[in-house]
């Protein structure tokens, strides 16, 4: 998996960070210090993990734009008001 040039953590590093917080009850501040990132980083990845599981740990920077090409954002399904 390619990570963008500014990413501080790879997928495996994010997984390890989340495990430290979720399974080992490390605080966000302590996890941030251990992985040399700001507190914002573990907060973001733990929230994504809790919402989406391991899939939430992938970095989708730029991918959303590819998915939305050709999609009518004003389209409403039948019965939607």
pLDDT in tens, 11-63: 899 999 999 999 999 999 999 999 999 999 999 999 999 998 888 888 766 55
Q: Which two tokens stand for residue 22?
A: 């979720």
| pTM higher than the cut 0.75 | no
Q: Distance (Å, rounded) from C-alpha 20 to C-alpha 50?
A: 14
How many Å is the Cα radius of gyration of the chain?
Answer: 16
Burial degree of 4 (CB within 10 A; 0-12, 13-18, 19+): exposed
């Amino acid at each position: 998996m390619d990570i963008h040039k500014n990413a501080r953590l790879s997928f495996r590093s994010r997984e390890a960070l989340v495990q430290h917080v979720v399974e080992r009850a490390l605080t966000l501040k302590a996890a941030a210090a251990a992985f040399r990132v700001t507190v914002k980083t573990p907060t973001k990845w733990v929230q994504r993990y809790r919402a989406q599981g391991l899939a939430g740990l992938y970095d989708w920077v730029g991918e959303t734009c590819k998915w939305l090409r050709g999609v009518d954002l004003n389209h409403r399904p039948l019965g939607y008001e």
